[in-house]
Structure 1
Amino acid sequence: MQQHLTIFDPFEGMRFGNHICFLCGTRVTADQQTPVFPAWLMEKYSLGHEPLRLLDQSVVTYQDLKIPCCAQCQTQYLGPLEEKVQEAVSKGVPGLRAIDEKLLFQWMGKMFYGTLITELIKEQNPLVRPEYAVSEQPKMLLKFQSFFRVLQSLRVPMVFPDFIPASIFVIDVDASAEPSQFEFRDELSTMMFSLRLDNALIVCCLLDNGMIKDSMRRVWQVVEPRQLQPIQAAELSARIFYAGYLLNVIPDYLVRPVKPQDEHLVMDTLIDDVTNVIFNPWQHSSYAKLLATMWAKWGITQEDILRDPQEPLSMLFSPEGEFIEFPTIPGQAK
């Protein structure tokens, strides 16, 4: 197979370290690194010195979170991607909705993967004993291996013929009451990732082949054209994150046989759905617990959400299913 169509798989033999380019596997020197969160984003939201808590509960600053990367991957692949996304972000919600979803997947995937391999590199240190070592969880590693196969589309020309590996939602949030706003949330086990950039909120499940977006199609049709209040955007985030918890399948990806003249790889996807259960059953109590964390800043508790155990509190839809234009927040005067 042509060299430029060769996929690197660091999960075979757990080849992670500060001397291996995260994207292509080339050996690099200690100073060849790229920031997990791009420099332009850190500058725009003054993130450099802000703290970020990792899985092992250690705290780093955004600017200190870096991963090994060779000069070629930096200049040929990451640099051009950052330029395209930066331009889209400058145009707000319309710009982010217009950009190719594959590029958004790669951009968010690189940040997600950057935090993940920081954990994996740290776990190789014999003095570090994380409570939940990622490298000791075979099912999680399988999931990350599948994800990295399609994230290689950053470097290897790759076509996804009838799917996109992720579910990506770009939500319009009324930011008028809030100053310049950046929020970041990720969830390693469910592969959920969200970024709030002023009035644009991007929520993404990075490995579901769009199944979450498909399952939320009716809700999304109502919500997508509207500008949401921050409390409504938080609720929609909770619904998407909770769907990530319920997802019960791991997509696998296979490369179609490559012919000598091929200039790109074509990926097919396979879902082992022998169990026929794509999503586990929805449970109001588990959902309410997650929603309460998203609504904490408004002082809304799990008990508030479950006043009616059959109908959790919603700021998006009335009990009759109508969209709520101006939600009344409990405990706040109308």
Structure 2
Amino acid sequence: MSTSLYNPFQDLLFDDHFCFLSGNLTTERISVFPEWLMNHFQFGDERIEMMDKTKSYKYSDLELPCSPEVKDAFAQLDVKIQAAYKKGFEGMAALDEKLLFQWTGRIVYGLLYYEMVYERNRLQKLGEDFNLSPMLRERFGHFHLMLQSLIEPISFKGNKPWSIIVFPLKYSADIFSYRDDTVNLLFSMGVNGFGIIACLQDNGAIGEKQKDIVEKMKGHILHPVQFEELYARFHYSDYIFQYKPQYKIESDENGITIEALPIKKVGSKPLFGFWDEDIFAQLLANYWQVYGIEREDILKFQKPPLSFLENPYSKDFINPETIELPF
């Protein structure tokens, strides 16, 4: 990576004495999940599992070492996001995507940081070295560089490195729904009034793949079961994505410019692999289990897969008001 900015993935440096974003020495801390969000939905004492399911943390205990500069920058970002949040879907949809990237990225990176620390400590106890593949070092390093746009003169040119959508969503007022995939840098959040889905390092390819259904959604307030299906589509699309995003990174006296290069097919290899309905149905069943919907309900013999987004025959968008499931 052609930049002199701090990159913790170069030496796998995840230490409480160094700011997670700038690399400066520090004794300050910042919560992974914004405090106003935890207070509003009162989930600070609930627990979130790490990827291997053997370790969990209270949301309120997840904190990152940070410099005063970084803490202040995120505090200012939180003020903007909270103000937009109070205006509901219209407020969030009006935000610059760069702000949404920085805000969702802070949470996803925070969880990734904990995954790195947990895995390093686990391996150390076994007397083994902690390492990452060159591919993951590059992916996470690029993500970290982009997140530094909060504190450094970093701009994004042309095609954006992410797919981010904001849409109206009907939930009970006290429900907060959150999912992520830290390795693949995916984020979803659903609350009363709106939902957000973010693929933070796909160069817009997954958003492009799902643009037809996103267009059909416009003018509707999604039912939560539709939200779960939508995120499952984004998540599975990422799973079968067959190309590595590439970036043009330039640096001069004015700062760093990042351009996400359009992803082009090489030969006969498509951008996305085969969409396997069996695998997708299992993923979707994991998200729909709160409704008691199992994989066998999604895939039935001689019937098209169950969907709450599209009529399987006409491909028309299903009106959320016709869905009788609770929200």
**Normalising by structure 2, what TM-score?**
0.89
Question: Counterpart in 1 of 2:161?
Answer: 165
The offset of 1:195, in angstroms, is: 1.1
Unaligned runs of 5+ residues in structure 2 are none
Letter matched to residue 183 of structure 1: S
1:161-192 per-position Cα deviation (integer Å, ceiling 9, x unaligned): 112221112121122xx241111111123221
TM-score, normalised to structure 1, is: 0.88
What residue number does 1:54 align with?
50
Q: Corresponding residue for 2:152?
A: 156
- Relative to structure 1, the CA distance from residue 272 to residue 322 in structure 2 (aligned partners, 3 Å threshold; closer, same or farther) is closer
1:79 aligned onto 2:70? no
Identical-residue share of aligned pairs (%): 33
| CA distance in 2: counterparts of 1:320 and 1:273, whole angstroms | 30
What letter is aligned with 2:258? M
What are the residue-to-residue correspondences of 1:1-334 with 2, within 5 Å? 6-29=4-27, 32-56=28-52, 57-75=54-72, 77-125=73-121, 135-175=131-171, 178-258=172-252, 260=253, 262=254, 264-270=255-261, 274=266, 276-308=269-301, 311-318=304-311, 319-325=313-319, 326-328=321-323
Q: Distance in 2 between matches of 1:140 and 1:226?
A: 38
Sort the Cα spacing of 1:188 and 1:273 in 2 relative to 1 into closer, same or farther, 3 A.
farther
> What is the deviation of 1:322?
1.4
What's the CA shift string for 1:36-61, capped at 9, x where partnerless? 00111111111221111112421111
- Secondary structure of the residue aligned to 2:231 is helix
Question: How far has the Cα of 1:289 moved from its partner?
Answer: 0.7
CA distance, structure 1, for counterparts of residue 130 and residue 289 of structure 2 = 28
Query: Within 2, Cα distance between the matches of 1:269 and 1:97?
Result: 22
Unaligned runs of 5+ in 1: none
Kept in 1, the 8 Å contact 2:21–2:148? The answer is yes
Q: For residue 310 of structure 1, report the CA deviation from its aligned partner.
A: 6.6
Amino acid at match of 1:34: I
Are the structure 2 counterparts of residues 134 and 174 from structure 1 closer, same or farther at C-alpha, using a change threshold of 3 Å?
farther
Separation (CA, whole Å) in 2 of partners of 1:312 and 1:141: 38
| Contact 2:158 2:260 (C-alpha < 8 Å) held by counterparts | no
Aligned pair in 2 of structure 1 residues 188, 135: CA closer, same or farther (>3 Å)? farther
Distance in 2, Cα, partners of 1:299 & 1:158: 46
Alpha carbons 2:10, 2:137 under 8 Å: kept: no
- The whole-number CA distance in structure 2 between the counterparts of 1:129 and 1:100 is 44
Q: Partner amino acid for 1:73?
A: V
Q: Using the alignment, how far apart are the partners of 1:307 and 1:51 within structure 2?
A: 35
Q: Deviations over 1:51-76 (max 9, x none)?
A: 1111242111111000110111111x
1:121 to partner: Cα distance: 2.1
2:13 is paired with a residue whose SS is coil
Which deviations, in whole Å up to 9, do the C-alpha atoms of 1:92-112 show, x marking residues without a partner?
A: 111111000110011001110
